[in-house]
Structure formats: C-alpha cells, structure tokens
Amino acid sequence: MTEVQNSPAVAPAAAGPSVKTGRRSHLREAATGWLFVLPFAVLLVAFLLLPMAYAFKISLYRSTLIEGEVFALFDNYKQAIDDPLVREGVVRVLIFGLIQTPVMIGIALLAALLIDAATSRFSRFFRLAAFVPYAVPVVIGTLMWGFLYSDSIGPFSALGIDFVSSDTVLASLGNIVTWQWAGYNMIVLYAALQGLPRETYESARIDGATEVQIALRIKTPMIASALVLATLFTIMGTLQFFTEPLILQPLNPGAITQHYTPNVYAYQQAFSFQQYNYSAAISFLLGAVVFIGSYIFLFATRKRSALR
Amino acid sequence: MNIGNFSARKVSRRSVVAAVAATALALTGCTSGGDDKPAEKPAGPVTIKVWAWYPEFQGVVDNFNATHTDIKIEWTNAGTGQDQYTKLQTALKAGKGAPDVAMLELQEIPTFALTKHLVDLGKYGANDVKGDYVEWAWKQVSSGDQVYAIPVDAGPMAMMYREDIFKKYGLTVPKTWDEYKQQAEKLKTASAGKSFITDFGANDGGFMSGLFWQAGAQPYNYDLANPTSIGVNVNSAEAKKVIEYWEGMVNAGLADTTAFHTTDFYNGLGSEKYATYLAAGWGPGYIQANAAKSSGKWKVAPLPQWVAGENKQGDWGGSSFAVTDQAKYPDVAAKVAMELFGAKNTEAWKIGIDKAFLFPTATPVLESDTFKNKQYDFFGGQKVNEVFVPAYNAIGPFSWSPFNSYNFNQLTTNINQAIEKKTSWTAALDTAQANVKTYATQQGFKVQ
Amino acid sequence: MTFKKGSVAAHIVMGLLAIYFLLPFWWLLVAATKNNDGLFQSASLWFSDFQLIDNLKLLFQQDGGVYVTWLRNSAFYAVVSGVGATVISALAGYAFAKLRFPGRNALFALLLGLIMVPATALVLPTYLLMSQANMVDTIWAVILPSLLNPFGVYLLRVYVHDSIPDEMLEAARIDGAGEFRVFRSVALPAMKPALVTVLLFSMVASWNNFFLPLVMLSDDQLYPLTVGLRAWYMSAIMGNGGAATFNVIVTGALVAIVPLIVAFLMLQRYWRGGLTIGSVK
C-alpha cells in the first residue's frame, strides 16, 4: 500500500531558488514533517510498540505463587499451545467466526441491496433502524440481550427456549453480534453500492434482467472489495470475542466457561489468577494469529480488495 | 517467599538491564512491604481509604466520620466480589493504588495473606478483640497471633421455606436430608412438577462449600504458618456424599439448577417455583429485597442434617476488613478495621442489621436484644435469628486454599459442566481435585 | 408488474428485519417504565404501571447519584479523546500525505502493519506499564491510549492525498506562509468532512470503550457509563446481599443510549461519508 503514493510535486529547482535554500527548505520540510507526526509517533510507541514489547518480555517469564518470577523462555508458549482450554477457546471462536460471519455479512448484503434498489420512505427508515444498534455500546447491548433472553422478564419466554444453555448460548451470542454489527456492515456495503456507476446495470435492466438478477449477478460482484473488507473486520472481531461472553457469563457459567474464548481465558488468567506471564503469552499468540491471519486473508483476496 | 525479592535475585544482570521495567515493578512491590514503623501523622485528620461493597455502607461511613475527628474514611465501591479482588490484587502487585482497608470475604483471606500484602493486625492490638468472636470465625482470619483481618459478617446456613406451599401440598418441615428428599418427591408429584423443592445454584462456590462444610468435608488443609505446603482433598468422601445427593436431586427433577442471583432465580423465589431456599445469615435481607411479593409466606428452619439429631453447620459467605501494606498509617487503618463494624459500634450495627441485613460475627452484637429478638415481617413476624444464631455457634473449623479464585472456578466450572452435559458429578469433583493438585504443584506448593 | 411484486417482497423483508433491529429498543423503552416487580410480572412488550419517573429518580439517586458522574465522565472522555485523537491524526495524516521527511514511508508502513493488532491483547501490558508510570486509576489511563487512532491517520492521509492538490499548498507556500500556516489555513479547512468523520468515530469508540477503563479504573467516581452499569449489573447478579435493582439498570441502559442514538440520527451524513472513505478507497 505504501508504493501507491506518488511523491508530491514539490517546487522544482527550475523555479529559481539556489541549491542552498533548496536544501534548507528540504530540511525545514523534514523537520516540519517530523514535528507533525511526532505526537502520533510517540503514542504509537507508547501504546502499541512498548506494550507489545513488554507483553513479549513478560511472556518469557514464569511466575508462581510460591517461587515468584523466573526466566522460562518459551515455556508459557509451549504450555499455551498444549493447553486444552486454549485450544477449546480457539476452536470455538473459529466455529463462531465461520458461522456468524457469513450469516451477518449475508444479512448486511441483503439489507444493503434492498435499500439500494427500493427508494421508498420506508427504505430510508429501515436504513436508520438497521444502523441504530451500532450506536449502542457493546456492554449495554449485551446487557439488554441478557434481559431479553431471560425466562422471567424477556419477551421470548413463551417459546420455551433456554437461550443460555450450553447448546444454545453460542447462537445466542452470535445473535447479539449480528444485531449489533449487521447494520454497520450494511451501511459500508450500501456506500459501495452507491458508488457504482448506474449505467452498468441500467442496460441489464433494459435487457430484461430482474432486480434480483441485477443484485446478485451485477451489483454483488462489483462490491466484492467492500465485502472482503467487511468480512475481514468481522473475522478479526470474532477472534477477539470478549465483551459479550464476559457479560453473559453469570447467567450460566457452566455454558459460558471462564475459558470460553481465548480472550476471556487470558483475562481470567491475568486478573483472577494473577498469571500475568501466562496471560501475556496467550494474548501474544492470539495477537500474532489475528495479525498473520488478517494478512494472509488480505493477500489471498488481494485482487478483489481495494487494499492492494 | 517475597515475590519481589525472589525475582530480583533470579534475574541475570544482563536481563536486568533489558528488563528495568518489569523488575522495577517487582521491586516496588517488595520495598513498600515490611516497613513496620508508622509514618509521622499529619496535623489534620488521617485519611483512610476503604474498599467495600456492603449495602447501605454510606451511612456507616458517615457515622464513623462524624464520631472521629482524627480519622476521615474515604469509601470506594470498587466492585462486588471478584471484580474488587481483581483490582486489589493488581494494585497490590503494582505497589500502588490499593486502599488502606479492604473488605475481603472470609474465603479470600489466605489468598491475599499469601502475597504478604496484608498487615499483621496482631501488632496493632487486634488480639485484644479476639474475645468478641467465636473460635471458628477468629480462625478464619488468623493464624496463631498473626491476625490478617477483622471479621465483620458471616453466613451461617439455614433453610427458608414457603409455609404456604408446604401447607398446600401437605409437606412437613424436614429435619434430615433424607426427609428433605422425601418432601421434594412429594412436592414434585403433588404440584405436577410445577414446584421444585429448591434451586441448586452451582454458580456459587461459596454455597457449595457451605454444604461441604456442614457435611464435615475439609477440601483444603492449609495454615498460613506453613504457607508452602497444602493438603488437597476436594473429592473427599464427605464432599462426594453431598455432591451425589444433589446429583440425585437434580437428575430426578426435584431441584432446579438456575444460576443464583439471575432474574430467573429471583423470579422463582417470588413465585411458587421454589418451596425452600437454602440460605445464609445474610439471606433474610436478600430475599426480602428480591422476592418482595412473597412477603409473609416464608419461615426459617435449621438446615437439614445428615444424621438425625445432630447439629452440624456450615457457613456461606461472610466478610472481614483487612489492612493492606500500602496503608501509610497501619495503626490507624487497623483501628478503622477494628471499629467500623466493631463489637461496640452499635450505631454501625443498627444500619448493618436493619438496613444491610448483615449477620454479625461479634458475639456481643449477636447476643444483643436488637439482633436476637428482631422480628421479621417478611417471615410473618418470626424471630429468624433464633435459628441463625445457634447455627452460627455450631459451625466447625474450615480452611480455605491460598488460591481461592482457582478453587471456586474449578468447583463451579466442573459441577456446572456436569449439570449441562449430564455427566457424573462425582467425576466432576475428581476432575476438580486433579486440576487443583496440578495447579498447586505448578504454583510451587508441596501438595499432600 | 414483476417489479411491483418484487418491491412488495422487498418491503416485507425490510419490515421483518426492522422488527428484529428495533424490538430490543422497544423492550428497553417499555421495561424502563416498570418497577422491579412490574419487570417480572407484566407482559414484557407492553406497558403496565408507568413508573419511568420513579425509575429515573432512583437511577439518579442510587449510590449517591454516581450515575450522573458516570454520564459526565463518559462525555468528558469522549470529547477529550475524540478531539485529541482527531487533532493528532490530522497532523500525522497531513504530514504523511504532503510532507517529505526521512522515515516517512517506514513509519507509514509500520502504521499500516499495526492497524491489525488486536486492541484487547494490549490492555494487560498497557495496564502494567501504566501502573509503573503511576497513572493507573487516573483519567489519563483511559484518555492517553484512546488518543492513538491509526485508522484515523490512515483515513485522513488518503483523504488529504486525494482531495487536496499540491498546487494549492504550493501557492500558499510561495505567498510566504510557514508550513504550519499552510496546514492550518489551507489544508485544515479542506479536510473538514473527513475530520468530522474521524472525530465522530473516535468519540463513539471512546464512549463505547469498556475493556480499557474496566482494567484501568478502580475508583467508581472515574468510571464511564459502560463500566459503571456493568458494575451495577454484576452487583445485582453476583448477589452482594442487597436488592437487585434491575429496573434501575434497565433505566440506566436506556438513558445511556439515548444521547448516542440522537447523535447518530443527526449526524448520519458524516457516518456514511466516513464509511465510504474507509471502504471504497
């Protein structure tokens, strides 16, 4: 992505200034440039690079209640890779991502295609309705759904479904995520649809193509890059799944265990058991997986993605 | 034993340079400890920061501040239970940000005492108030002359039951667990499965531990005087007896398994879903606040016994005040810990008993007329403490592990999963035992 | 005719989806008008006794009126982090797009690489570092990390690169304006639509922030709404021995999301604008 940028056309030497002033202005521009990015660079170091380095460092130590901290190289990583609870969490978020992502992106795409095709007053209202859940903080959205799932105060008790049993809770969590983010993704996709040149499908319409055909065969492929990005951000989100299970946990700790997702597990290791070092190793592994995974995904789909 | 010292010693010189950050953290942790001499006091009142989550606590704090010109308490509610412990642990480890005085539930005391971040209150006269507490309660907070915290409230267990439901279906008040099961079966048939005898909330480690306690189980054998060795007996015969009993109750559809304190649980208490609630000493206020519409229908009877005619009891919950090593004036903080809910602080206990519904640990308060003979409208005017106080006095000794978060986590996770997956509960207890043993060994304990 | 039939079908699907998206709000609105008993006893999707005013009173009185403090904190964190992050992103985005300085490409590549680093993985080490800097349990522990917004920098760089021609800046430079003047009086006004978008995104991210303040803050006087409401919820659901006031929590949730929804509806245009920059470009 870095090579995309073409160098700004700075005043050429032909404009007249001597070599000396030219160099001075170069120096000045360099100094100004650094001055401008300095606050950002400082923050980048302080709140991204330093914590990363620090997390890596403490992940190389082991700490026990009795013996304190000792250097252990990659012991924590070995333990994390062998830890069945970590594996269980990873498998769970992968399954979750594989099911929830297509469902949600599907709903978002459907909604986006609908509001793109139908230009009624209701479709404008619908656009807002679908987007509003995104305005709700995740914590509050989850609390709300926790109440909605409740047998005693929620509206679905007549259905007789236990929404937080171990069989249903993953789907219940998926519903919360879908509810909260489908509208956001809808807007992203809708914006991409709006950016398409209308002529491309006007001609198809004249040729007798139905709206459904136009939507599926013409519009959808044309917004592939936006779809790819939306999918990527969703997958990244699901791998880091944390807030929703943490909030719903008290409703059924047998179903939402303390190792439900890798992030919940890392949180519990650090903050309930004071195993900061092991927690850092899990976090670091998870971060590396998300990071590498994102890039593999982007690379594999780079032809369709805007992020070339 | 000091974590700080140890790490500073082990880390090689080269990595010290590379790791200034981490060791600085550890070093501040150890230097802020051990200083016994109280700092010189300022001219004005000494400010003491207190973390606690008691209901109606503001009144107690205001009352304390009004009656002490030399001390000013600053109270923070840093979260309930694990939320507060998490913050307290991290603040203690960081060497900064902890309060002077912190509320600790009884089961958490060894966990915090092991980190050496609790001040020995024995040095500040805590042993003088020892006589105000019964033996088991004092043992929960001390080891020999070392006093880690001052007990505040406790949770002796008893059985609350719905008199109306009992009458409606012709049930009798059970005295033993066998009778309890018989009544449960009768209730199930008579109510056509609409009512359960009770709810077994496997999300609450304290509840299950209380039942183990009553049955004479000793999951841990641990004394802070010998902090590196621990006996682990989570799956003892006594504990298995309890767990098998409840497995039978749940699988037969006699007991519900809704998690405690959830909306569905509260709803069950207020409706006719549960005929009894196995409660603790803080239960009267709790149920009154959360199942108001069933007011007047409840009565309290002693917890059923395993052997007819015995009086074995267990505790569920209860708390204390500890002083952290970040207290600048540990003597003043110790005074606050001893007096806030002290035996003589009748004003505080007025709020504690009438508004917060705490079950006091101090014998003078327990035996006072205002507590013992207090009539509860919610229980149809019954003097429920006539049941709770004898139960409290009959509780035997019980020791907790120095890693209680892990202990409760293992207990609740494994039993809950057994409930969810309909697998054997005793096997779940065996799993917990194996996991705890592995964990304790990993943490460097000598496990017996 | 087929178009019409299709349109009806489309509206039915939209109608069903709209119910799905709005039902929880309807429930929340109704639930906030009930007292604790009403929550449990009455039909959950319709009003019974109208107790909203009482609930609001309870909400603003519980724990000495701490809810108002949380509301104020959330607003304060959102404004300070939002404005700060936008200013910092604007400076950096502009510099990346229009100024040549050594290390620019390397730094920008680093930024792009780090956009993907999961934020939750960094909370624990950030906490430990903050505690060494003595900043845990202060407002800085929440605000400072929120000032970093790599995505905002990226958006603004793209925007500046595409929409501000070099000639415009050059003209100002030839007129003798210093680099900062050029930035302030030429670039900044031209960046306005993108700035508003970044501001909104940063403010909402801060308003919704949960994990970071949950870990950083112990003092309930410093909590934002998200952490405070969860603390109440946990205290109800962990059983602290007191009353579980679900009606207060529900009302608190309603009050917490109203300002956001209003802001969203009013500023829709900018959202769409921002999302377009992010996705299409």
For β-strands B46-51 and B71-76, DSSP reports them as parallel
Note whether C126 contacts A: Cβ–Cβ < 8 A.
Answer: yes
State how far the Cα of C43 lies from the Cα of B131, in Å rounded to an integer.
55
Locate tokens 């004394």: which residue?
Answer: B223
For β-strands B298-302 and B146-147, DSSP reports them as unpaired
pLDDT digits (tens, 9 = 90+) for C130-141: 888 888 889 999
State how far the Cα of B74 lies from the Cα of B333, in Å rounded to an integer.
12
Structural contact between residues C264 and A187, judged by C-beta atoms closer than 8 angstroms: no
Which two three-digit tokens encode residue B17? 């340079």
- Within 407-426 of B, beta carbons closer than 8 Å to A belong to 409, 412-413, 415-417, 419-421
Which two three-digit tokens encode residue B172? 């009798």
Q: How high is the mean pLDDT of chain B?
A: 89
B-chain residues near A65 (CB < 8 A): 114-115, 402-403, 443-445
State how far the Cα of A42 lies from the Cα of A50, in Å rounded to an integer.
10
pLDDT range class, residue C87, cuts 50, 70, 90: very high
For the residues of C37-92, what is the DSSP string, one character each? HHHHHS-TTS--S--HHHHHHHHHHHHHHHHHHHHHHHHHHHHHHHHHHHHHHHHH
Locate tokens 């789909």: which residue?
Answer: A301
* Exposure letters B426-435 (e unless 16+ CB within 10 A, then b): bebbebbbeb
pLDDT range class, residue B8, cuts 50, 70, 90: very low
pLDDT digits (tens, 9 = 90+) for B208-251: 999 999 999 999 999 999 999 999 999 999 999 999 999 999 99
Note whether C191 contacts A: Cβ–Cβ < 8 A.
Answer: no
pLDDT range class, residue C267, cuts 50, 70, 90: confident
Interface test with A, best of C279, C280, C281 (most A CBs within 10 A): C279
Note whether B79 contacts C: Cβ–Cβ < 8 A.
Answer: yes
Q: Mapping DSSP to helix (H, G, I), strand (E, B) and coil, where does residue A123 land?
A: helix
Alpha helical stretches, state H, B52-129: 57-67, 82-94, 109-114
Interface test with B, best of C126, C216, C237 (most B CBs within 10 A): C237
Structural contact between residues A245 and A261, judged by C-beta atoms closer than 8 angstroms: yes
Q: Mapping DSSP to helix (H, G, I), strand (E, B) and coil, where does residue B402 land?
A: coil
Q: What is the CA radius of gyration of chain C?
A: 24
Cβ–Cβ below 8 Å for B262 and A150? yes
Which two three-digit tokens encode residue A212? 């459904």
Closest-approach residue (CA) in chain A for B264: A152
Note whether B290 contacts C: Cβ–Cβ < 8 A.
Answer: yes
pLDDT digits (tens, 9 = 90+) for B398-433: 999 999 999 999 999 999 999 988 899 999 999 999
CA atoms within 13 A on the CB side of A138: 21
Structural contact between residues B48 and B74, judged by C-beta atoms closer than 8 angstroms: yes
Cβ–Cβ below 8 Å for C241 and B78? no
Note whether B37 contacts A: Cβ–Cβ < 8 A.
Answer: no
A32 CA to chain B: closest CA distance, Å?
A: 32
pTM score: 0.84
State how far the Cα of B206 lies from the Cα of B435, in Å rounded to an integer.
19
Q: What is the pLDDT of residue A291?
A: 80
Across the interface, of B77, B290, B317, the residue whose CB is closest to C220 is: B77
Residue C15: in which H helix or E strand, if any? helix C2-31
Question: Average of pLDDT values for B336-346?
Answer: 94
- Within 265-304 of A, beta carbons closer than 8 Å to B belong to 268, 271-274
Least Cα distance to C237 among B261, B403, A218 occurs for B261
Among B165-179, B356-370, C100-114, C239-253, the minimum mean pLDDT is found in C239-253
Handedness of CA B173, B179, B181, B184 (dihedral sign): negative
Structural contact between residues B194 and B285, judged by C-beta atoms closer than 8 angstroms: no
Question: For B258, which DSSP code?
Answer: P
Q: How many CB atoms lie within 10 A of CB B234?
A: 25
- Within 211-250 of C, beta carbons closer than 8 Å to A belong to 211, 215, 225-227, 229-230, 233-234, 237-238, 246, 249-250
C-chain residues near A30 (CB < 8 A): 99-102
**How many residues are there in chain A?**
308
Closest-approach residue (CA) in chain A for B404: A273
CA atoms within 13 A on the CB side of B282: 24
B-chain residues near C40 (CB < 8 A): 263, 266-267, 270
For β-strands B255-256 and B198-199, DSSP reports them as parallel
Locate tokens 């057994």: which residue?
Answer: B418
How far, in whole angstroms, is CA B112 from its chain's centroid? 14
Question: CA-CA distances (angstroms) from residue A288 to A83, A240, A294?
Answer: 17, 12, 10
Closest-approach residue (CA) in chain A for B227: A66
Cβ–Cβ below 8 Å for C137 and B97? yes
Interface test with C, best of A57, A140, A151, A297 (most C CBs within 10 A): A140
Q: Ranked by mean pLDDT, which of B381-395, C93-107, C109-123, C225-239 comes out on top?
A: B381-395
pLDDT digits (tens, 9 = 90+) for B197-209: 999 999 999 999 9
Note whether B55 contacts C: Cβ–Cβ < 8 A.
Answer: yes
Structural contact between residues A148 and A156, judged by C-beta atoms closer than 8 angstroms: yes
Q: What is the pLDDT of residue B110?
A: 96
**Residue contacts between A and C (CB atoms, under 8 Å):** 304
Structural contact between residues A125 and C18, judged by C-beta atoms closer than 8 angstroms: yes
pLDDT digits (tens, 9 = 90+) for B244-302: 999 999 999 999 999 998 888 988 998 899 999 999 999 998 898 888 889 999 999 99
Q: Is the pLDDT of residue B16 over 70?
A: no
How far is the first Cα of chain A from the last one, in angstroms, to the nearest whole number? Answer: 6
Least Cα distance to C90 among C168, C191, C165, C205 occurs for C191
Cβ–Cβ below 8 Å for A2 and C112? yes
- Within 198-227 of B, beta carbons closer than 8 Å to A belong to 202-203, 227
Across the interface, of B79, B82, B285, the residue whose CB is closest to C241 is: B285
Q: How many CB atoms lie within 10 A of CB B38?
A: 16
Helices C119-132 and A50-58: angle between axes, nearest 10 degrees: 90
Closest-approach residue (CA) in chain A for C34: A153
State how far the Cα of C53 lies from the Cα of C204, in Å rounded to an integer.
28
Q: What is the pLDDT of residue C239?
A: 66
Order of strands, sheet of B220-221, starting from the edge strand that comes earlier in the sequence: B220-221, B229-232, B446-447
- Within 96-125 of B, beta carbons closer than 8 Å to A belong to 114-115
Least Cα distance to C14 among A176, A101, A183 occurs for A183
Note whether B262 contacts A: Cβ–Cβ < 8 A.
Answer: yes
State how far the Cα of C223 lies from the Cα of C77, in Å rounded to an integer.
10
State how far the Cα of A31 lies from the Cα of C106, in Å rounded to an integer.
16
Q: Which residues contact residue A12 at a Cβ distance below 8 angstroms, ignoring those fewer than 6 apart?
A: none
C-chain residues near A46 (CB < 8 A): 144
- Within 203-222 of A, beta carbons closer than 8 Å to C belong to 210-212
For β-strands B46-51 and B101-105, DSSP reports them as parallel
Question: For A11, which DSSP code?
Answer: P
Q: Is the pLDDT of residue B9 over 90?
A: no
pLDDT range class, residue C5, cuts 50, 70, 90: low
Q: What is the pLDDT of residue C241?
A: 65
Note whether B77 contacts C: Cβ–Cβ < 8 A.
Answer: yes
Note whether B261 contacts A: Cβ–Cβ < 8 A.
Answer: yes
Locate tokens 């639509």: which residue?
Answer: C193
Across the interface, of B25, B55, B286, the residue whose CB is closest to C128 is: B25
Across the interface, of B80, B96, B293, the residue whose CB is closest to C240 is: B80
Partners of chain C (3+ Cβ pairs below 8 A): A, B
Least Cα distance to B22 among A61, C104, C79 occurs for A61
- Within 14-33 of C, beta carbons closer than 8 Å to A belong to 14-15, 17-18, 20-25, 27-28, 31
Closest-approach residue (CA) in chain C for B280: C241
State how far the Cα of A129 lies from the Cα of A186, in Å rounded to an integer.
11
B42 CA to chain C: closest CA distance, Å?
A: 23
Of B316 and A205, which is predicted with more confidence? Answer: B316
Q: Phi-psi region for residue C63, left (φ > 0), alpha (ψ -120 to 50) or beta?
A: left
Locate tokens 């009768």: which residue?
Answer: B186
φ and ψ of C232, to 5 deg: -65, -45
Least Cα distance to C268 among A187, B312, B63 occurs for A187
Locate tokens 């969860």: which residue?
Answer: C230
Structural contact between residues C202 and C81, judged by C-beta atoms closer than 8 angstroms: yes
Q: How many CB atoms lie within 10 A of CB C104?
A: 19
Least Cα distance to A141 among A100, A176, A108, A172 occurs for A176
Which two three-digit tokens encode residue A224? 């592939």
Q: Angle at the Cα of B70 (from B65 to B74), degrees rounded to 5?
A: 45
Per the DSSP assignment, residues forming a β-bridge with B318 are B154
How far is the first Cα of chain B from the last one, in angstroms, to the nearest whole number? Answer: 20
Which two three-digit tokens encode residue C113? 């690489």
**How many residues are there in chain B?**
448
pLDDT range class, residue A160, cuts 50, 70, 90: confident
Locate tokens 């809704």: which residue?
Answer: B258
ipTM of the complex: 0.86
A-chain residues near C12 (CB < 8 A): none
